[in-house]
Amino acid sequence: MSAAANALRGEGELRIGGATHVLRPSFGALVAAEAELGPLFALVERAADGRLALGEMATLFWHCIAERPAALTHEAVGEAVVAAGLAGATPALRLLLGQILQGR
Protein backbone atom coordinates (compact mmCIF):
# COMPACT_ATOMS: atom_id res chain seq x y z
CA MET A 1 0.00 0.00 0.00
CA SER A 2 1.28 3.46 -0.82
CA ALA A 3 0.61 6.91 0.62
CA ALA A 4 -2.72 8.64 0.00
CA ALA A 5 -3.46 9.95 -3.47
CA ASN A 6 -2.65 13.57 -4.18
CA ALA A 7 -5.42 15.12 -6.28
CA LEU A 8 -3.14 18.05 -7.17
CA ARG A 9 -0.88 15.55 -8.97
CA GLY A 10 -3.82 13.97 -10.77
CA GLU A 11 -3.69 10.83 -8.66
CA GLY A 12 -6.59 8.54 -7.86
CA GLU A 13 -7.11 5.46 -5.73
CA LEU A 14 -8.14 1.87 -6.31
CA ARG A 15 -8.92 -0.71 -3.62
CA ILE A 16 -7.34 -4.08 -4.34
CA GLY A 17 -7.63 -6.94 -1.91
CA GLY A 18 -8.44 -4.72 1.05
CA ALA A 19 -5.60 -2.26 0.39
CA THR A 20 -5.84 1.14 -1.24
CA HIS A 21 -3.34 1.80 -4.03
CA VAL A 22 -2.49 5.14 -5.58
CA LEU A 23 -3.02 5.48 -9.32
CA ARG A 24 -0.42 7.89 -10.68
CA PRO A 25 -0.60 8.67 -14.41
CA SER A 26 3.10 9.38 -14.83
CA PHE A 27 4.77 9.60 -18.21
CA GLY A 28 6.37 6.18 -17.74
CA ALA A 29 3.10 4.58 -16.67
CA LEU A 30 1.20 6.04 -19.61
CA VAL A 31 3.90 5.03 -22.10
CA ALA A 32 3.80 1.46 -20.74
CA ALA A 33 0.00 1.42 -20.95
CA GLU A 34 0.12 2.77 -24.50
CA ALA A 35 2.63 0.10 -25.51
CA GLU A 36 0.17 -2.56 -24.39
CA LEU A 37 -3.16 -0.92 -25.29
CA GLY A 38 -2.34 1.15 -28.35
CA PRO A 39 -2.67 4.93 -28.69
CA LEU A 40 -4.12 6.59 -25.61
CA PHE A 41 -6.25 8.95 -27.65
CA ALA A 42 -8.00 5.93 -29.19
CA LEU A 43 -8.46 4.53 -25.66
CA VAL A 44 -10.12 7.78 -24.58
CA GLU A 45 -12.35 7.70 -27.66
CA ARG A 46 -13.43 4.11 -26.91
CA ALA A 47 -14.23 5.12 -23.34
CA ALA A 48 -16.25 8.11 -24.52
CA ASP A 49 -18.20 5.84 -26.88
CA GLY A 50 -18.84 3.28 -24.12
CA ARG A 51 -16.61 0.72 -25.85
CA LEU A 52 -13.78 0.48 -23.32
CA ALA A 53 -13.22 -3.17 -22.49
CA LEU A 54 -12.86 -4.37 -18.90
CA GLY A 55 -9.37 -5.67 -19.66
CA GLU A 56 -8.32 -2.30 -21.04
CA MET A 57 -9.48 -0.56 -17.88
CA ALA A 58 -7.62 -3.06 -15.70
CA THR A 59 -4.47 -2.68 -17.81
CA LEU A 60 -4.54 1.11 -17.56
CA PHE A 61 -4.95 0.84 -13.79
CA TRP A 62 -2.18 -1.79 -13.60
CA HIS A 63 0.36 0.46 -15.27
CA CYS A 64 -0.65 3.50 -13.20
CA ILE A 65 -0.33 1.87 -9.78
CA ALA A 66 2.40 3.76 -7.97
CA GLU A 67 4.75 1.71 -5.81
CA ARG A 68 3.20 -1.51 -7.09
CA PRO A 69 3.98 -4.38 -4.70
CA ALA A 70 5.83 -7.29 -6.30
CA ALA A 71 3.10 -9.70 -5.15
CA LEU A 72 0.33 -7.73 -6.87
CA THR A 73 -0.78 -9.32 -10.13
CA HIS A 74 -2.50 -7.92 -13.20
CA GLU A 75 -5.29 -10.43 -12.57
CA ALA A 76 -5.81 -9.08 -9.03
CA VAL A 77 -6.28 -5.60 -10.48
CA GLY A 78 -8.88 -6.97 -12.89
CA GLU A 79 -10.64 -8.77 -10.07
CA ALA A 80 -10.67 -5.53 -8.05
CA VAL A 81 -12.36 -3.76 -10.96
CA VAL A 82 -14.97 -6.52 -11.12
CA ALA A 83 -15.45 -6.40 -7.33
CA ALA A 84 -15.92 -2.62 -7.40
CA GLY A 85 -18.21 -2.81 -10.39
CA LEU A 86 -18.18 -0.28 -13.18
CA ALA A 87 -19.77 2.35 -10.93
CA GLY A 88 -17.03 1.85 -8.34
CA ALA A 89 -14.17 1.89 -10.84
CA THR A 90 -15.44 4.81 -12.92
CA PRO A 91 -14.18 7.66 -10.68
CA ALA A 92 -10.59 6.40 -10.95
CA LEU A 93 -11.00 5.81 -14.68
CA ARG A 94 -12.46 9.28 -15.21
CA LEU A 95 -9.53 10.82 -13.34
CA LEU A 96 -6.93 8.95 -15.42
CA LEU A 97 -8.66 9.73 -18.71
CA GLY A 98 -8.91 13.38 -17.70
CA GLN A 99 -5.18 13.46 -17.02
CA ILE A 100 -4.48 11.87 -20.40
CA LEU A 101 -6.54 14.55 -22.15
CA GLN A 102 -5.77 17.63 -20.07
CA GLY A 103 -2.53 16.94 -18.26
CA ARG A 104 -1.74 18.52 -14.94
Helix or strand or coil: residue 19? strand
Mean pLDDT of all residues in 5-13: 84
Phi-psi region of 6 (alpha: psi -120 to 50; beta: other; left: phi over 0): beta
Question: What confidence tier does 45 reach under pLDDT thresholds 50, 70, 90?
Answer: very high
Question: What pLDDT is attached to residue 83?
Answer: 93
Question: What pLDDT is attached to residue 56?
Answer: 96
Separation CA 43–CA 96 (nearest Å): 11
Residue 2 has pLDDT above 70, yes or no: no
Residue 24 has φ and ψ, to the nearest 5°, of: -120, 110
Question: What pLDDT is attached to residue 34?
Answer: 96
Residue 1 has pLDDT above 60, yes or no: no
